[in-house]
């Protein structure tokens, strides 16, 4: 553990190029989850300095654009919604990435273009030689980043990595230097290798070590932060300039506001009441159904509803019921049963 006693407290806002990320707490990109509806819910609670989309396949974007004149569903909301907003893209071809980056910067005017070098899923690594697969090819990473930086300027480009591909090949220090030399404006590190997937604990000592390999750009640590206290501890004990939260915010979008209060030294706001959580989930449901229609929206909402129920009494029972809902009435009935009006948080 590296103590950082000499660093300012509370941690100052993070700078990504010209963008000021305040507070320095970021909402992570999560495929299948961090769409515009979810981001709206996060934004409503506040406390996240920068929000991110799901990862978008750059090659798919180009193909759709050229063949159907449509843009990926994963860019839903991106053109209109509040800023700051990062869009994450993935591929292994520098030209394709640059082409898409230019569109995102000029046409969509996003705040940040983030590159996924961390995805461990087979379709991305083995089939497309992208995501975390690229950690074994720092020269290609350099080409992708530097071309994208040139295409997007002045919009900043950032990179999100894991510690390495495998536990035998942890090369995040070298990769961090390459990322900075190529012109990226920030580096986010999930403290596991691709081989680890989500097992074990994130290795924050390794994340912390990376700081000494960066000259100017901020280091954002990611992995297992699921409480305001852990966010404070991450800043206090490790050399990070920012933190990113993923899984824990899915059922607790108010976590950012709690973490931000804790960083300021204010009392941590309590979890919303059961009634407020119910309203949050129903509001989320309405946003999803407005976009996707009742049938698709209800099915899509099942997984979010399970996240909201996580850790609560009767969560298993709720999950088994909500997993079968297909209509608005079904959804409200299951919610009424498990999130009754006037109930207290367990
Ligand atoms: C369902 C799911 C989808 C994810 N999708 C992405 C993604 O699209 N891009 C990305 O860089 N990381 C993705 N991740 C990884 C997270 O951003 C994050 O690095 C990881 O979950 C560790 O953080 P946590 O412990 O706070 O969850 C995903 C994680 C989950 C659980």
Identify the helix (H) or strand (E) that includes residue 159: strand 157-162
Does the Cβ of 252 fall within 6 Å of ligand 1? no
User: What pLDDT was estimated at residue 339?
Assistant: 82
Q: Atom 19, ligand 1: which residue's CA is nearest?
A: 190
Of 33, 74, 172, 190, the residue with max ligand 1 atoms within 8 A of its CB, to mutate for a pocket test, comes to 190
Q: b or e along 58-97 (b: 16 or more beta carbons within 10 Å of the residue's beta carbon)?
A: bbbbbebeeeeeebbebbbbbeeeeebbbbbbbbbbbebb
Would you say residue 302 has pLDDT above 90?
yes
Q: How far is CA 58 from CA 72, 81, 138, 164, 233, in A?
A: 10, 21, 19, 23, 36
User: What pLDDT was estimated at residue 5?
Assistant: 61
CA of residue 30 to ligand 1 center, whole Å: 5
Identify the helix (H) or strand (E) that includes residue 279: helix 274-309
**pLDDT band at residue 3 under the 50/70/90 scheme:** very low
The two tokens of residue 322 are 């909500």
User: What pLDDT was estimated at residue 342?
Assistant: 61
CA of residue 222 to ligand 1 center, whole Å: 9
DSSP assignment of 203-264 equals -HHHHHHHGGG-SSS-EEEES---SHHHHHHHHHHS--SEEEE-GGGTS-TTHHHHHHHHHH
Does the Cβ of 84 fall within 6 Å of ligand 1? no
Name the DSSP letter for residue 136: G
Q: Atom 1, ligand 1: which residue's CA is nearest?
A: 30
CA of residue 340 to ligand 1 center, whole Å: 31
Ligand 1 nearest-atom number relative to CA 224: 25
Query: 86: annotated binding-site residue?
Result: no
Highest mean pLDDT among 5-19, 90-104, 310-324: 90-104
Ligand 1 nearest-atom number relative to CA 245: 26
pLDDT for 197-216, tens place per residue? 999 999 999 999 999 999 99
pLDDT for 57-112, tens place per residue? 999 999 999 999 999 999 999 999 999 999 999 999 999 999 999 999 999 999 99
Q: How far is CA 207 from CA 48, 171, 186, 196, 271, in A?
A: 21, 11, 14, 15, 29
Domains and CATH numbers, the chain: 14-264 (3.20.20.70), 274-338 (1.10.1200.80)
Q: b or e along 135-151 (b: 16 or more beta carbons within 10 Å of the residue's beta carbon)?
A: bbebebbbbbbbbbbeb
Residue 344 has a CB neighbour count (10 Å cut-off) of 7
Does the Cβ of 55 fall within 6 Å of ligand 1? yes
The two tokens of residue 272 are 């919303």
Residue 119 known to be catalytic: yes
CA–CA dist 134, 119 (Å, integer): 10
Query: 234: annotated binding-site residue?
Result: no
Residue pair 168/141 in contact by the 8 Å Cβ criterion: no
Q: Atom 21, ligand 1: which residue's CA is nearest?
A: 246
User: What pLDDT was estimated at residue 343?
Assistant: 52
The two tokens of residue 282 are 């129903």
């Amino acid at each position: 553990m590296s103590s950082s006693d000499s660093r300012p407290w509370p941690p100052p806002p993070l700078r990504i190029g010209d963008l000021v990320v305040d507070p320095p707490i970021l909402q992570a990109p999560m495929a299948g989850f961090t769409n515009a509806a979810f981001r709206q819910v996060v934004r409503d609670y506040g406390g996240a300095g920068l929000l991110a989309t799901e990862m978008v396949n750059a090659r798919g974007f180009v193909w759709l654009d050229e063949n159907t004149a449509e843009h990926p569903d994963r860019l839903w909301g991106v053109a209109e919604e509040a800023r700051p907003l990062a869009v994450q893209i993935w591929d292994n071809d520098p030209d394709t990435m640059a082409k898409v980056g230019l569109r995102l910067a000029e046409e969509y005017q996003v705040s940040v273009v983030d590159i996924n070098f961390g995805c461990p899923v087979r379709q991305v690594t083995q089939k497309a030689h992208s995501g975390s697969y690229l950690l074994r090819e720092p020269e290609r990473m350099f080409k992708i980043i530097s071309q994208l930086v040139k295409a997007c300027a002045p919009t900043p480009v950032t990179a999100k990595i894991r510690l390495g591909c495998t536990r035998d090949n942890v090369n995040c220090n070298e990769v961090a230097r390459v990322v900075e030399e190529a012109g990226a404006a920030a580096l986010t590190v999930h403290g596991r290798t691709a081989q680890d997937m989500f097992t074990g604990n994130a290795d924050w000592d390794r994340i912390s070590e990376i700081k000494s390999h960066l000259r100017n750009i901020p280091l954002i640590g990611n992995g297992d932060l699921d409480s305001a206290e852990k966010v404070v501890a991450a800043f206090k004990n490790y050399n990070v300039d920012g933190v990113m939260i993923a899984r824990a915010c899915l059922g607790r979008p108010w976590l950012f506001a709690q973490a931000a209060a804790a960083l300021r030294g204010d009392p941590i706001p309590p979890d919303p009441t059961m009634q407020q959580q119910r309203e949050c989930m129903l509001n989320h449901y309405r946003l999803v159904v407005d976009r996707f229609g009742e049938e698709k929206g209800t099915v899509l909402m099942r997984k979010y509803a399970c996240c909201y129920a996580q850790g609560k009494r009767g969560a298993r029972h709720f999950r088994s019921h909500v997993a079968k809902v297909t209509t608005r009435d079904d959804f409200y009935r299951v919610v009424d049963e498990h999130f009754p009006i006037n109930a207290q948080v367990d």
